[in-house]
Structure 1
Amino acid sequence: MHGESDEAEPVGPERLIYFSDAVIAIAITLLALELPVPHGEAHGNDGVLHFLREHLTEYVAFLISFSAVAMHWLLHQRLFRYAKGLTGGAIHWNLAWLLMIVTMPFTTKLLTSEADAFQIQFTAYAAGQALAGLFLWRAFSALRSGGLLKDHTPPSVIANTLSWNAAVVVTFAASIPVALVTHAASLCWGLVPAVRFALRSVRGRRDAGMSTD
């Protein structure tokens, strides 16, 4: 019984936040380590430039994944800076979020591999991004439902951050069926700001309608 009551007590968020930051740093480092480097067969300036052009897809994928990891980290720190404690639910969902983060080097390499399975490669990558956003939302929901946010947490900052997180989930999830009909489905990912604006507009109209009822 004593152990059960201890587990029910909220714990400080600092260790989880520091741990999450360390995992983010490792994931970004692993992304960089996967970048192709010219080898002995690339002779002279022309040979190196030819090698770099041949692997341009991998370099672009690295930049996309770096931006994605950085975006997930920014959303995380903007939300968890207001945590005053943690319970099991928030910790478990945060670990699920970190699982998606650490698999990004793998899904990035899979996306740019020479395997002839575009739909599977694309789905694995996009689903990982969407699930990362979903798990982060669940982790923060556990904080909020448990009353574990600091006093005077600014609602506008939370709403703004969650709208970006929702846009990530919707955009990457929606790109998966698009990949079934075109190999240009990755262009959908550039629509995150537009999707976020649309979601904010829908919520604004809904809130306005509720206030007039």
Structure 2
Amino acid sequence: MHDESDEVEPANPERLIYFSDAVIAIAITLLALELPVPSGDVHGNRGVLDFMREHLTEYVAFLISFTAVAMHWLFHQRLFRYAKGLTGGAIRWNLLWLLMIVIMPFATKLLTSQADAFQVQFILYATIQALAGLFLWRSFSALQRSGLLRAHTPPLVITNTLSWIAAVILTFAASIPVALVTHSASLCWMLLPAVRFALRFVRPGRR
């Protein structure tokens, strides 16, 4: 026999949101901790400036990764603020998304290391970024399929946010084959706004 008291209510999304926020904060902190600082053999203003110029690549990579993590956090909070429950699929995809976020400090350090393996370093970093976007997309899609969005959810906010996530996936994925032929593949990442703009005209159901 089936009784209404046996129904299992959807999990509270606030726990997942708070947990995700904490993981992202840790990832950003780890990014900052990896920044090179002058050692005891660096003296004077000129010495510090020379040291910072020598490690400019690491500082730029930090800014790129910080922007990427912050962007993923923004996507997450824009989408999951409208969740009224969670499914097992949404939780699993969200955990995979957080795995990519946690790996980003390692990938950033590897990208700027002295190892002579540009393709491996670059492709690993770009793959992590693309997978992070894909996993976040799948996590939210699980909520949509289960009807676990609040009634007042604004369709335009959801559509715009998902189009940005799609642009992230496409931009970083497209840079991977480019890295096989040139060391300037990172310039592809600058096309992210253009890719996002182009997606506005291919979006299904666009009026």
| TM-score when normalising by structure 1 | 0.92
Structure 1 residue 104: Cα displacement: 0.3
Corresponding position of 1:132: 132
Question: Which piece of structure 1 moves more, 42-51 or 163-172?
Answer: 42-51
Paired residues of 1:175 and 1:188 also in contact (CA < 8 A): yes
Displacement, 1:198? 0.7
Superimposed CA distance per residue, residues 115-138 of structure 1 (whole angstroms, 9 cap, x where no aligned partner): 000000000100000000000000
- 1:5-154 counterparts in 2 under 5 A? 9-154=9-154
Aligned to 1:199: 199
- Does the C-alpha gap of structure 1 residues 133 and 13 become closer, same or farther in structure 2, counting only changes over 3 Å? same
The Cα shift of 1:207 comes to 3.2
Query: Deviations along 1:140-199, whole A, 9 cap, x unmatched?
Result: 000000110000211111000000000000000000000011111001111111001111
Q: Aligned letter for 2:143?
A: L
Label 1:6 to 1:92 Cα distance change in 2 as closer, same or farther (>3 A): farther
Structure 1 residues 35 and 161: alpha-carbon distance in aligned structure 2, compared to 1, 3 A threshold: same
For residue 110 of structure 2, what is the amino acid of its counterpart?
Answer: L
Structure 1 CA distance for aligned equivalents of residues 185 and 112 of structure 2:
14
The Cα of 1:9 is off from its aligned counterpart by 3.7
Distance 2:123 2:7 in 1: 37
Find the residue that maps to 2:183 and give its secondary structure. Answer: coil
Uncovered stretches (5+) of structure 1, i.e. residues with no partner: none
Runs of 4+ in 1 over 3 A off after TM superposition: 5-9
Q: Percent of pairs identical after alignment?
A: 80
Structure 2 counterpart of 1:134, one-letter code: L
Q: CA deviation at 1:8?
A: 5.7
Contact 1:9 1:87 in 2 (8 A): no
Instruction: Tell me if the contact between 1:171 and 1:192 (Cα under 8 Å) persists in the aligned partners.
Output: yes
Shift of residue 7, structure 1, vs aligned partner: 9.8
Deviations for 1:33-78, whole angstroms, at most 9, x for unmatched residues?
0000000111111111110000000000000000000000000000
**Shift in CA distance, 24/149, structure 1 to aligned 2, threshold 3 Å:** same
Give the CA RMSD over aligned residues.
1.5
For 2:106 and 2:80, the matched residues in 1 are separated by 26
Taking structure 1 as reference, are residues 188 and 7 closer, same or farther at Cα in structure 2, changes over 3 Å only?
Answer: farther
CA distance in 1, matches of 2:38, 2:107: 23
1:6 positional shift: 7.8
Query: Residues 90 and 142 of structure 1 are in contact (CA less than 8 Å); yes or no, is this contact kept in structure 2?
Result: yes
For residues 143 and 195 of structure 1, do their structure 2 counterparts lie closer, same or farther at Cα, with a shift above 3 Å needed? same
Question: Aligned partners of 2:183 and 2:58: how far apart in 1?
Answer: 16
- CA distance in structure 2 between the partners assigned to 1:25 and 1:130 by the alignment: 20
Change (3 A) 1:33 1:6: farther
